[in-house]
Amino acid sequence: MVAGIVLVGAIGAWRLSQPEPLRLSFLTPYVEQALTLPERSVNVAIDDTLITWAGWGRTIDLRVRGVHILNNRGRELAVLPELSLTLSVEALLRGIIAPTSIEVLDAQVTLLRDQNGHFRFGRVFDMSSDETADSAADTTEVPAGETPVIPEALAAFMAAPDYSKPTGYLRRISIVDAKMVLVDRRSGLVWHAPTASFSFERHPDGLSGHLQFQVQELGRPAQFEGDLVYDSGNQSVSIDARFSGVDAASLGLLRPELMVLQGADFTLDGRVGTELGLDGQLERIDFDMGGGPGSLTLPDQLPDPLPIRKIAVTGKLDAGLDRLVIDQAQLDLGTLSKPGPSITVKGSVSGLTTYTAPRTGAIHVAADLKADGIAVADLGRYWPQDTAPKPRKWIFANIDTGEVSNVSATLRLRLLGGDPDAIALDKVGGTLAGKGLTIHYLKPMPPITDAAATGSFTANSFTGIFSAGHVGGIQIDSGRIDIVDFNKDVQTITVDGNLHAAMTDALGLLDHPRLGYMKRLGIDPKTAVGQTNAHLKVVFPADKDLVFEQVDLSAEANLVGAGIKHVMFGKDLDDGNLQLKLTRKAMEIEGTGRFAGIPAAILWNQNFVAADFDTRIRLQGTAQEEERKALGADLGPYVTGPTAFDVTYTTFDDDSAEVSAKIDLTPTTLSFESLAWSKAAGTAGQAEALLLLPKGQPPVLKNFSVSAPDLAANGHGSLTDSFGVGQMAFDRVSLGKTDLTGVKFAFVEGRPEVSVSGGILDVEPLLTGKITLKPEEAANTSMTNPTRPFKITADKLDVVMLAPGRQVENVHVVLEHETEYWRQIEIDGILPGGAPLTMTYLPVEGGRHHLAIKSNDAGSALRVLDIFDDVKGGTLNVYGDSTDSVPMRPLTGKAEIQDFRLINQSGLVRLFSLTGFIDEMSGDGFQFDRFVADFTKTEGRVDVPLARAHGPSLGMTATGYFDQSVDKIDIKGTIIPAYAINSFLSNIPVIGDLLQGGKGKGLFAATYTATGKLSKPDFSINPLAALAPGFLRGVFDIFDSNGQPPPPASAMPEQPLGEQNR
């Protein structure tokens, strides 16, 4: 028996080893029954059944060919070319033909993805590998209500083994060397896997599988390999797949959103993990991939291919394939030899399958990006043109050099209707840092260089915070730049910063032609000195045709040790400690400094647009005397000591200007010596003036005023082009006792000329005083007692005061003084009491000056002229001449008074009392018929060769001099009582001479002297002379008081003095 079995087995083994398989057609019905799933409405029809043996290393295989799978209506769902079955011995012993493994050979598998995203297996075609994908797509329809074949078969395989059925013994299903086609009805694409192998093994709690295939469309071709596990507990299939050689450019075939990768030139390797429901619905897909090196070409976005050193992406696709999450995408740009920046992205894309739904209507993209090490020069290689195009345009146009690091960006956008060209930005924001940046904030102005900054941005704005940088020689300490309104056609840029610099550099920036501030102010920045700490803010539209009027500029600065040339009237400002405020419309500078060397507080306002004024500079301070002299305002000796000032200089848009000044004269000493008036320092005083500077015309002094104790003046006038005094008109001048109206003042050939309409004029100081000259004038030794030339005229003054209590009313006056001497004096008025007075001192022929004084009231005239106070009544005539060429111009002349009385208040009363002649004086004084005297006046000294006076009771003679300037007198003479008798005796020949001792020397006479102070002379009398006859009296007169012979006596003139001068 055993031998028979062995023999049969040996014969069977020999037969199976033959090249031709053993045909077992009788088994076909049993195999069909084993593969049929009647409860699932699936029937199987087989064309032929064969048995083969592949060698001692394998079991005997049962092969079936032409396997037709039919539904319960007989429709053919699929055809399998060949199956290899391994039968269960245990099942055979039970009388059941049941496979333990099924191997599908050379099959072509079609996998369908419907519009809802479900996967199912479609018909398996028995066709050659060169059939087109279109044919496959045309024959993969699955009627509604029918179940997919393979999942139905796998469902039985996945169930717990039922050994009463043929499928209960099945342990393994394999598909070997299959050709696979994926028909994606959602995208309309067909994918081909020319070589694919699948295997599934049953386990107690489910099954496991392994797959391996290639996809032509995704690489050369792309390799895929994976494992799957079915868990019968949760009825799900988990898949863990690996891939390599996937051409990144081909990913655009998967979804339109990935078409951006069609210019990619690198491959990807990675893994994908997912879960699949028994209904074919995918759960979440996890993936992890990487690739490179290579490049990415975006013709419409980047100018050149983007070099990619390495890329790595980790993410997941949520169930339903509607949301893609990128946990992290690492993109290292550059090449292996020249690494570039690194970019990290996290984000998500949702709405991938629902973007057409009415409620959603968009694909939502959210991304968080980080980047580092991006050179600004290479930024254009990495920044796509359509990504934030307006910020991109501004940055590329205005940032030249430097490096950007620590970039962090957030992006939230929607693709409306899934259209990548219909982008709606919901949020764009981020931060970055940069160093070594060159930033153009307002071309063509000098850029910010070597800037270090951090930045932040949104969809509509960008902000940069500076911690360092330069603009030429200007050092930026801190600052920021803000760009807003990226959603508008024109953006607004704000530059705001703190800086410090040398004044030359700071003013040079403000003088740039784009701004032109210093040019408008007439300041040369190159001449400025000092340092500044400033806060600057500039706001302007990002318009290539930008004009200055569109710039809103403001600056605040501290200027330390500032020096600016030619601030006002060509004078400089130095040592300034100033606060500057600047806008596009105006500037204000306030602080302290030295203007033209004078310490002053300064307030400078400048308008750059239409306003009430263009420039206004106010200076307040105190000028010392030496500082005024250095400024060219030497007012000595009239004004000495410090002068407090408040001066405002204003210019206007018609190129005119004005200067208003307020001068506090309290600390100042004012002295007009020739007018006998002065104001001591500490006494209040004030002066004000308004000077107009019309364009192309001489300056106009619109109004001025000065006030101090005993001083008040106000008026107007004009100046010369060189700011010399032109013409002045005083509404009122009050100085000491002088109080005038309608005063006009002008310089004529360098000499001041004054005309007066009316008022009171005190000329005593002019007649007696001197005016101190400048040192260069005083140094001229040819000038004897020099004074300034001037001329004063008055048609009719109410009063002219010549000395205290001595005045003339209704006066016409002309006073003209040359450098040393009076040239012209005319005084015509009414004396107290109503008598007229005429006094003239005029040039005449022969280079002489002639003096004439006339009055019908000699006593009043002499008192007014401060010559003699003790005469009453009489007629006065004084005549004299001086020669202009003689040094000091001595005035020689004669004075005559007729019919006057010498009142008893006279100082001569003391003299008369010494002679004993006091008894001859009546109560009204001595009556004199005539007085005549020769005189020579040289400055303050008056020499009298001989003076004679006679009346009914007394006669006198005098000779000598008196000097008012030194208060000295030296006079001697004779006093003769009873002059009428002596005069009669003198007419007798011989006897008269004997008795009188000569003409004018009476028999009864006394000699006298007056010496010492003019204000209080000392008198002496020779009493013996009163008793001696004339010829004896000469004995006592041989010598005068100094031992010299006395001067010869002159005879009394025969005619009146006035007749001798005609």
* pLDDT tens, residue by residue, 74-124: 777 778 888 888 888 888 888 888 888 888 888 877 778 777 767 666 654
Residue pLDDT, tens place only, 186-210? 777 888 888 888 888 988 888 899 9
Residue 936, C-beta contacts closer than 8 angstroms, at least 6 positions apart: 890, 891, 892, 942, 943, 945
Estimate to the nearest angstrom the gap between the alpha carbon of 641 and the chain centroid.
40
Query: Does residue 849 surpass a pLDDT of 90?
Result: yes
Same domain, 831 and 910: no
Question: Residue 1023, preceding bond cis, omega within 30 degrees?
Answer: no
Is residue 320 very low, low, confident or very high in pLDDT (cuts 50, 70, 90)?
confident
Estimate to the nearest angstrom the gap between the alpha carbon of 725 and the chain centroid.
40
Query: Does residue 766 surpass a pLDDT of 60?
Result: yes
Q: What is the 3-state secondary structure (H, E, C) of 53-101?
A: ECCCCCCEEEEEEEEEEEECCCCEEEEEEEEEEEECHHHHHCCCCCEEE
d(CA 932, CA 756): 37
Are the beta carbons of 868 and 828 closer than 8 angstroms? Answer: no
Quick one: pLDDT at residue 481? Answer: 87
Same domain, 901 and 861: no
Phi/psi of residue 313, nearest 5 degrees: -135, 130
Question: Tokens 């090196």 map to which residue?
Answer: 293
Same domain, 29 and 58: yes
Q: Are strands 403-416 and 323-334 parallel, antiparallel or unpaired?
A: unpaired
Overall average pLDDT of the 480-490 stretch: 85
Query: Does residue 841 surpass a pLDDT of 80?
Result: yes
d(CA 43, CA 46): 10
Residue pLDDT, tens place only, 924-943? 677 889 999 999 999 889 99
| Residue 677 within any structural domain of the chain | no
Residue 434, C-beta contacts closer than 8 angstroms, at least 6 positions apart: 376, 402, 403, 404, 405, 451, 452, 453, 454, 455, 464
Are the beta carbons of 583 and 592 closer than 8 angstroms? Answer: no
Is residue 1048 very low, low, confident or very high in pLDDT (cuts 50, 70, 90)?
very low
Is residue 830 very low, low, confident or very high in pLDDT (cuts 50, 70, 90)?
very high
Domain that residue 112 falls in: 20-203
Same domain, 843 and 976: no
Residue 450, C-beta contacts closer than 8 angstroms, at least 6 positions apart: 436, 437, 438, 468, 469, 470
d(CA 474, CA 452): 15
Of 172, 187, 203, the position where a domain reaches its end is 203
Question: Residue 444, preceding bond cis, omega within 30 degrees?
Answer: yes
Please report, rounded to a whole number, the percentage of residues in the chain having pLDDT higher than 90.
Answer: 21
Same domain, 900 and 864: no
- Four-point Cα dihedral 124, 127, 128, 134, nearest 10: -80
In eight-state DSSP terms, residue 503 is H
| Residue 593 within any structural domain of the chain | no
Question: Tokens 């409860």 map to which residue?
Answer: 39
Quick one: pLDDT at residue 923? Answer: 55
Are the beta carbons of 814 and 826 closer than 8 angstroms? Answer: yes
Is residue 983 very low, low, confident or very high in pLDDT (cuts 50, 70, 90)?
low
Question: Tokens 């018909």 map to which residue?
Answer: 123
Residue 298, C-beta contacts closer than 8 angstroms, at least 6 positions apart: 260, 263, 306, 384
d(CA 272, CA 239): 8
Q: Model-level pTM? A: 0.60
Angle at the Cα of 628 (from 626 to 631), degrees rounded to 5?
A: 110
Q: Please give the mean pLDDT across all residues of the chain.
A: 79
DSSP strand E in 569-610: where?
A: 571-583, 586-595, 598-607
| Residue 494 within any structural domain of the chain | no
Residue 166, helix vs strand vs coil: helix
What are the residue ranges of helices labelled H in 830-953?
A: 858-864, 908-915
In eight-state DSSP terms, residue 37 is B
| Residue 633 within any structural domain of the chain | no
d(CA 908, CA 956): 11
| Residue 654 within any structural domain of the chain | no
Same domain, 967 and 1060: yes
Overall average pLDDT of the 678-690 stretch: 92
Residue 778, helix vs strand vs coil: helix
Same domain, 1062 and 1036: yes
Query: Does residue 220 surpass a pLDDT of 70?
Result: yes
- Four-point Cα dihedral 541, 544, 545, 550, nearest 10: 20
Overall average pLDDT of the 6-25 stretch: 56
Burial category of 188 from C-beta neighbours within 10 Å (exposed 0-12, middle 13-18, buried 19 and up)? exposed
d(CA 650, CA 659): 6
Neighbour tally for 794: CB within 10 Å: 24
Is residue 28 very low, low, confident or very high in pLDDT (cuts 50, 70, 90)?
confident
Instruction: Determine which helix (DSSP H) or strand (DSSP E) holds 112, and give its type and residue range.
Output: strand 108-113
d(CA 791, CA 816): 4
Estimate to the nearest angstrom the gap between the alpha carbon of 616 and the chain centroid.
18
Are the beta carbons of 670 and 712 closer than 8 angstroms? Answer: no
In order of 285, 393, 407, 410, 481, the CA distances from 457 in angstroms are: 34, 14, 11, 10, 11
Same domain, 858 and 951: no
Angle at the Cα of 381 (from 376 to 382), degrees rounded to 5?
A: 85
Of 842, 872, 902, the position where a domain reaches its end is 872
| Residue 290 within any structural domain of the chain | no
User: How many independent structural domains does the chain possess?
Assistant: 3
Quick one: pLDDT at residue 313? Answer: 93
Of 181, 203, 225, the position where a domain reaches its end is 203
Q: Which two tokens stand for residue 1005?
A: 């006479």
Half-sphere exposure of 146 (CA within 13 A, CB side): 21
- List residues bridging with 94 in a β-sheet: none
Same domain, 865 and 894: no
Same domain, 855 and 905: no
Same domain, 949 and 986: yes
Of 155, 159, 177, nearest to 168 by C-alpha is 159
| Residue 583 within any structural domain of the chain | no
Same domain, 852 and 901: no
| Residue 118 within any structural domain of the chain | yes
Q: Which two tokens stand for residue 698?
A: 């001489």
Query: Does residue 383 surpass a pLDDT of 50?
Result: yes
Neighbour tally for 311: CB within 10 Å: 22
Angle at the Cα of 564 (from 558 to 569), degrees rounded to 5?
A: 130
Residues in the chain: 1062
Are the beta carbons of 312 and 330 closer than 8 angstroms? Answer: yes
Identity of the residue numbered 1018: D
Residues 312-326 as b/e (b if ≥16 CB within 10 A, e otherwise) read bbbbbbbbebbbbbb
**Of 254-268, 526-540, 791-805, which range is least confident?**
254-268
d(CA 495, CA 472): 16
d(CA 1022, CA 1000): 17
Phi/psi of residue 932, nearest 5 degrees: -140, 140
